[in-house]
Amino acid sequence: MLLDIRDLTGAPGGPFSFTLAAGDCLVISGPSGIGKSLLLRMIADLDDNTGTILLNGAARDTMPAPHWRRQVMYVAAESGWWADKVREHMQPAAEAAALAPRLGLRAELLDAPVAQLSTGERQRMALLRAIIRKPAVLLLDEPTSALDQASTLAVETLLTELAAAGTGLVVVSHNEQQAERIATRRVQMTHGTLTDLERHA
Amino acid sequence: MNPIDLTPFDLAISSGLVLLSAALSLVLSLRIHRSLIWAAVRMVVQLMLVGYVLRFVFVTMNPWLTVLVAAVMAGAASYEVGARQQQRLGLISHYATGGGATVFATLVITILALVTTLQPTPWYNPREALPLTGIILGNVMNSVSLALNSFFNSVKRERNAIEARLALGEPRYMALHGLAAQAIRTGLIPTINVMTAAGLITMPGIMTGQLLAGMDPLSAAKYQILLMFLIVGGNCLGAFAAVYLVIFKLTDHRDRLRLDRLHAQRA
């Protein structure tokens, strides 16, 4: 099993237990403020929590947190930037230039100051900088909330390809159609528990 | 060299300036006359008191008494560093981080200076040790306050950026390195300014005092140079220690950012 979560408990409630196989795309939906983002942050060990998580059989506690987060990577809904130019956030930068057009981003934007990017461009750049670091699992918090239909579909296509190549995806989304398009499994989050909605083939 | 001893009459004349300023404040309704007078009175009482205490300490030459006076100074500086921050850690750790870094840096630099360059006999001679402690403590206190203020505010402001770096798998010290460097720079800018302007634009306080007290200008300059070097060392060490202590406090063993441990000061 790629990701095996057992009795994960913290601020959003719990205990949460579920598994994610390579290529799975788990879509979590539920009302705002119920703790979906906090659940993703807990999996990435960004907030205080208890429980066990195994990645390919290796327990989270046995490795340093930064090492864990490089493999189980959280992408926040609101992106943060620490340098002036977009390129300074990209590592390796060559991969970013190659992949940017797939998300509808012009390669020149990599040399632009972050402040010049639109909200939608920033959101896709934040996703891009995570993807090029090649994590085993991506935890995406409303990855297309600021995007138009065309960009949303471009992001979904790329995510589907990543899943086909073996990346595990956990996506928080309010978009019903999006969930239908990308999910291999859907859950609804309510007051500290996850309920299965349906199971796709 | 004959030290000049000012008479109470001399001081009374110059105190007229304070009264004049207060009168001006009344006429122009600047509303600072009360705090001006109060600060002036405090200053006079504090300095006279210190004069008497030091006269006694200098005569007795008791090392424990010297340590006691230094400890009181350190306590006051620790309180000031903590009180000047808008953002706060928990009560005890707040004063412990700012004060701890200030006292640590002062102690290292003062002892270093006493045993290597100044070498009074005995090495704890209060006439040398206490003024030295005071001037380094005061400077380190300023640098640490500025550095902490910058760091607390920038960490709060740049939360998303720090979280993004942590989420991408950077260790806590790397994720906070840019803000830490910026905070330490902020703490050192006044020191650099003072060094650049020294002699040319302003006459440093110690040197002025020694010149007025009748010391040879070149000797006074050399003494001032030594003090500036000690101050730079102390400020750098203090700012660095304070910022890294705060990083340690604001993160945890799993490299998480713990802004829940930082509170805005209650009004």
Q: Which residue has the higher pLDDT, A99 or B4?
A: A99
Mutate to test the interface with A, among B157, B254, B255, B258 (most CBs of A within 10 A): B254
pLDDT exceeding 70 applies to what percent of chain A?
A: 98
Chain B residues 231-260 with a CB less than 8 Å from chain A: 252, 254-257
Confidence at residue B84, expressed as pLDDT on a 0 to 100 scale = 84
Judged by DSSP in three states, A197 sits in strand
User: Among all residues of chain B, which has the CA nearest to that of A139?
Assistant: B167
pLDDT at residue B130, rounded to an integer: 92
Nearest by Cα to B244 from B159, B191, B184: B184
Q: Across-strand partners of A27?
A: A171, A186
- ipTM value, please give it: 0.95
User: CB–CB of A129 and B168 under 8 A?
Assistant: yes
User: CB–CB of B169 and A133 under 8 A?
Assistant: yes
> For residue range B210-260, what is the model confidence (pLDDT) as tens digits?
888 888 999 999 989 999 999 999 999 999 999 999 999 999 999 999 999
Compare all CA atoms of chain A with the CA of B161 and give the residue at the minimum distance: A80
What is the pLDDT, as a whole number, of residue A199? 54
Nearest to B165 among A47, A68, A82 (CB): A82
Dist. CA B50–CA A17, nearest whole Å: 67
Question: Which residues, given as ranges, of chain B have pLDDT below 70?
Answer: 1-3, 266-267
Across the A:B interface, residue pairs with CB atoms under 8 Å apart total 66
Q: Give the mean model confidence (pLDDT) for residues A11-19.
A: 92
3-state secondary structure string across A3-14: EEEEEEEECCEE
Give the angle A146-A147-A153 at the CA atoms, nearest 5°.
Answer: 145
Cβ-contact B166, B255 below 8 angstroms: yes
Of residues A70, A76, A81, nearest to B169 (C-beta): A70
Of the candidates B149, B150, B141, B144, the residue with the CA atom closest to the CA atom of residue B179:
B150
Q: pLDDT tens across B3-15, in order?
A: 678 888 989 999 9
| pLDDT for res B1 | 45
pLDDT for B148: 96
User: pTM of this prediction?
Assistant: 0.89
Give mean pLDDT, residues A33-44: 96
pLDDT score of B41 = 94
Are A66 and B169 in contact (CB < 8 Å)? yes
Per CB-CB distance under 8 Å, the chain A contacts of B167 are 44, 46, 69, 73-76, 130
The encoded tokens of residue B266 equal: 């209650």
A137-141 and A168-172 strand pairing: parallel
B116 DSSP assignment: I
CA angle A44, A70, A192 (to 5 degrees): 10
Whether omega for the bond prior to residue B131 falls within 30 degrees of 0, making it cis, is: no
Can you tell me whether residue B86 is helix, strand or coil?
coil
* In contact, B238 and B101? CB cutoff 8 Å: yes
Looking at per-residue pLDDT, the higher value among A2 and B5 belongs to A2
Q: Do B167 and A46 touch (CB under 8 A)?
A: yes
* Averaged pLDDT score across all residues of chain A: 94
DSSP-derived letter for residue B214 is: T
How many other CB atoms sit within 10 Å of the CB of residue B221?
Answer: 17
Cβ within 8 Å of residue B193, ≥6 positions away: none
